[in-house]
Chains A and B, each alone.
Chain A
Amino acid sequence: MTRVDGTPDVALELEDIQAGALYERPSPYVGTYLLLRIVDRTDGRELVRRLHRIANPAGGADSAGATSLTVAFTYRGLEALGVPQESLDTFAPEFRQGMAARAEILGDTGESAPDRWEEPLGTDAVHVAIAVLSSDEEQLAAVAEKARAAQTELPGIELIWKQDCYQLATGRTSFGFKDGIGQPAVEGSGRPATDARERPLRAGEIILGYPDETGELPPMPSPDVLGRNGTYIVFRKLHTRVAAYRSYLRARAATRAEEDLLGAKMVGRWQSGAPLAVSPDADDPELGGDPRRNNDFGFGDDPRGFKCPVGAHARRANPRDALDDEGSVDVRLHRMIRRGTSYGPMLPDGVTEDDGVDRGIVFVFAGAHLRRQFEFVKTQWLNDGIFIGAPLESDPLVGPHHEPGSFTIPQRPIRRKLQDLPPFVTTRGGEYCFAPSLSALRWLAELDT
Chain B
Amino acid sequence: MTEDTGTPTPGLEVGPTSEFSLFFRVLDGQGPSLRAALLELQGTPGYRPGDYGMAIKTIHEARFVLFDDDTRLAFITSFDGPWDAYMEDFFTSGPTLALFDVIFGHVEGYDGLPDLAAVRAFVLGAEQTAAAYARNYPGTVKEIRKAQRVNAAFQQVLDHPQAAEALGHPAMQPLLDEAAD
Known: A386-B80, A389-B143. A380 touches B85 (CB 8 A): yes
Contact of A213 among B4, B92, B114 (CB under 8 A): B92
Tell me the bound Cα distance from A182 to B29 in angstroms: 53
Which residues of chain A are near B146, meaning CB under 8 Å? 389
Tell me the bound Cα distance from A387 to B88 in angstroms: 16
Q: Which one of A39-47, A111-119, A328-336 is at the interface?
A: A328-336
**B5-43, CB < 8 A from A:** 5-7, 15-16
Interface 1/0 per residue, A280-314 and B, CB below 8 Å: 00000000000000000000000000000000000
Known: A214-B92, A326-B56. A391 touches B7 (CB 8 A): no
| Residue with the greatest number of chain B CB neighbours at <10 A, chosen from A213, A388, A389 | A389
A329 touching B86, Cβ below 8 Å: yes
Known: A213-B92, A327-B56. A391 touches B85 (CB 8 A): no
B124 to chain A, nearest CB (A): 14
Q: Is A372 an interface residue (CB 8 A)?
A: yes
Interface 1/0 per residue, A384-401 and B, CB below 8 Å: 101111110000000000
Known: A380-B81, A389-B143. A327 touches B95 (CB 8 A): yes
Q: How large is the interface on A (under 10, 10 to 19, 20 to 34, 35 or more residues)?
A: 20 to 34
A415 to chain B, nearest CB (A): 12
Total number of residue pairs linking A and B with CB closer than 8 Å: 83
B75 to chain A, nearest CB (A): 15
Known: A93-B5, A97-B4. A327 touches B140 (CB 8 A): no
A219 to chain B, nearest CB (A): 9
Q: Is A371 an interface residue (CB 8 A)?
A: yes
**B31-82, CB < 8 A from A:** 54-59, 79-82
Known: A379-B85, A389-B142. A325 touches B57 (CB 8 A): yes
B151 to chain A, nearest CB (A): 16
Interface 1/0 per residue, B137-166 and A, CB below 8 Å: 001111100100000000000000000000
Which residues of chain B are near A326, meaning CB under 8 Å? 56-58, 93-94
A328 touching B92, Cβ below 8 Å: no
Complex: chain B residue closest to A330, CB-CB? B93
Tell me the bound Cα distance from A194 to B16 in angstroms: 35
Q: Is B89 an interface residue (CB 8 A)?
A: yes
Which residues of chain A are near B179, meaning CB under 8 Å? none
Q: How large is the interface on B (under 10, 10 to 19, 20 to 34, 35 or more residues)?
A: 35 or more
Q: Is B133 an interface residue (CB 8 A)?
A: no
B7 touching A328, Cβ below 8 Å: no
Interface 1/0 per residue, A112-130 and B, CB below 8 Å: 0000000000000000000
Known: A213-B92, A386-B80, A391-B140. A327 touches B85 (CB 8 A): no
Which residues of chain A are near B7, meaning CB under 8 Å? 93, 371
A388 touching B142, Cβ below 8 Å: yes
A328 touching B116, Cβ below 8 Å: no
**B73-110, CB < 8 A from A:** 79-82, 85-86, 88-96
Tell me the bound Cα distance from A333 to B6 in angstroms: 21
A333 touching B89, Cβ below 8 Å: yes
Known: A97-B4, A326-B56. A214 touches B85 (CB 8 A): no
Q: Is B117 an interface residue (CB 8 A)?
A: yes
Complex: chain B residue closest to A369, CB-CB? B88
B8 to chain A, nearest CB (A): 12
Known: A387-B81, A388-B142. A329 touches B89 (CB 8 A): yes
Q: Is A161 an interface residue (CB 8 A)?
A: no
A327 touching B92, Cβ below 8 Å: no
Which residues of chain A are near B141, meaning CB under 8 Å? 389
**A328-365, CB < 8 A from B:** 328-330, 332-333
A216 touching B117, Cβ below 8 Å: yes
Tell me the bound Cα distance from A325 to B56 in angstroms: 8
B92 touching A94, Cβ below 8 Å: no
B116 touching A327, Cβ below 8 Å: no
Which residues of chain B are near A327, meaning CB under 8 Å? 54-58, 93-96
Known: A376-B85, A391-B16. A328 touches B5 (CB 8 A): no
Which residues of chain B are near A94, meaning CB under 8 Å? 5
What residues make up the interface of A, taking CB atoms closer than 8 Å to B? 93-94, 97, 101, 213-216, 325-330, 332-333, 371-372, 376, 379-380, 384, 386-391
Could you list 25 examples of A-B contacts with CB < 8 Å? A93-B5, A94-B5, A97-B4, A97-B5, A213-B92, A214-B88, A214-B92, A214-B117, A215-B114, A326-B58, A327-B94, A328-B56, A328-B57, A328-B58, A328-B79, A328-B93, A330-B92, A332-B92, A333-B89, A380-B82, A380-B85, A386-B140, A389-B140, A389-B142, A391-B139
What residues make up the interface of B, taking CB atoms closer than 8 Å to A? 4-7, 15-16, 54-59, 79-82, 85-86, 88-96, 114-117, 139-143, 146
